[in-house]
């Protein structure tokens, strides 16, 4: 994870990508904490025990039966986000071609080996080329900002363009210009975008499942 931070300039916690099951648990904990009254009991540990029991009951009875829908929704969103983000990096990085890295980001995260990210650059770079590259980056950042603003009716596209801006801006802030392998950067950005976009979808899904389940089962809501 530290290697990804060094590459992108993004904070480590922003680089952590959650699977749909983990996103569901996170959203459920928010609802149990904010909308349900958990009995504290007479013992010191009763509140924690009751909280865990209530959360587990809601999860297994009312949420787990819907998990196939959550997973399929995540996978569909991931594919669409990946297509938009890959296209963005392919355009801005020009000659760097996607799909050329033999080691996946997931494998690299697990192994911590990112030797393939360490490219050697010539000590002397043509100043005109450098300026042209920055002009191109600025142009794409402007285009993505316009698309993010104009695609408010398409939350997925908005998230894709906002994430492109976030990752490219972070890399430029770290290195002075965008650099790195397009495939790696696109994979990082897709994961971040999935965290953001799918969390919103899961939140909407849980609203209906949560209220149809716990509230209808007699679990009291907080006043």
Calpha distance 193→101 (Å, rounded)? 21
pLDDT at site 95:
46
| Boundaries of domain holding 117 | 2-215
CB 38 within 8 A of CB 47: yes
Vertex 182 angle, CA 84 and 93, to 5°? 85
Calpha distance 178→167 (Å, rounded)? 9
User: How many Cα atoms sit within 13 Å of 7 on the Cβ side?
Assistant: 26
Per-residue pLDDT of 130-149, as tens digits, reads 547 778 889 999 999 999 99
Report whether pLDDT(188) > 90: yes
In Å, the largest CA–CA distance within the chain is: 74
Q: What percent of the chain has pLDDT over 90?
A: 34
Instruction: Report if residue 222 sits inside a domain.
Output: no
pLDDT (mean) for 166-189: 90
Instruction: Report if residue 58 sits inside a domain.
Output: yes
Sequence-distant (6+) residues with CB within 8 A of 5 are: 11, 12, 15
Instruction: Report if residue 48 sits inside a domain.
Output: yes
User: How many Cα atoms sit within 13 Å of 151 on the Cβ side?
Assistant: 16
pLDDT at site 215:
52
pLDDT grade, residue 55 (50/70/90)? confident
Instruction: Report if residue 76 sits inside a domain.
Output: yes
pTM of the model: 0.72
Instruction: Report if residue 223 sits inside a domain.
Output: no
Instruction: Report if residue 146 sits inside a domain.
Output: yes
Instruction: Report if residue 96 sits inside a domain.
Output: yes
Q: How far is CA 64 from CA 25, 71, 197, in A?
A: 10, 11, 21
Instruction: Report if residue 138 sits inside a domain.
Output: yes
- Give the total number of structural domains in the chain: 1
SS3 221: strand
Report whether pLDDT(81) > 80: yes
pLDDT (mean) for 215-219: 52
- Residue 46 CB neighbour total at 10 angstroms: 13
pLDDT at site 156:
95
């Amino acid at each position: 994870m530290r290697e990804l931070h060094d590459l992108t300039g993004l904070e480590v916690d922003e680089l952590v990508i959650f699977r749909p099951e983990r996103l569901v648990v996170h959203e459920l904990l928010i609802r149990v904490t904010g909308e349900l009254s958990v009995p504290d009991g007479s013992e010191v540990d009763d509140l924690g025990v009751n909280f865990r029991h209530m959360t587990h009951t809601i999860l297994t009875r009312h949420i787990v039966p819907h998990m196939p829908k959550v997973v399929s929704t995540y996978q569909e969103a991931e594919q669409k986000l990946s297509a938009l983000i890959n296209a963005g990096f392919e355009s801005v990085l020009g000659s760097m071609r996607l799909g050329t890295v033999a080691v996946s980001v997931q494998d690299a995260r697990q192994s911590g080996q990112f030797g393939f990210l360490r490219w050697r650059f010539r000590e002397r770079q043509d100043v005109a080329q450098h300026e042209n590259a920055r002009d191109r980056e600025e142009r794409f950042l402007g285009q993505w900002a316009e698309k993010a603003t104009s695609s408010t009716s398409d939350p997925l596209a908005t998230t894709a363009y906002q994430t492109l801006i976030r990752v490219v801006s972070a890399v430029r802030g770290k290195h002075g210009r965008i650099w790195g392998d397009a495939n790696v950067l696109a994979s990082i950005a897709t994961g971040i975008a999935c965290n953001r976009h799918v969390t919103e979808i899961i939140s909407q899904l849980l609203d209906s499942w949560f209220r149809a389940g716990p509230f209808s089962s007699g679990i009291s809501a907080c006043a």
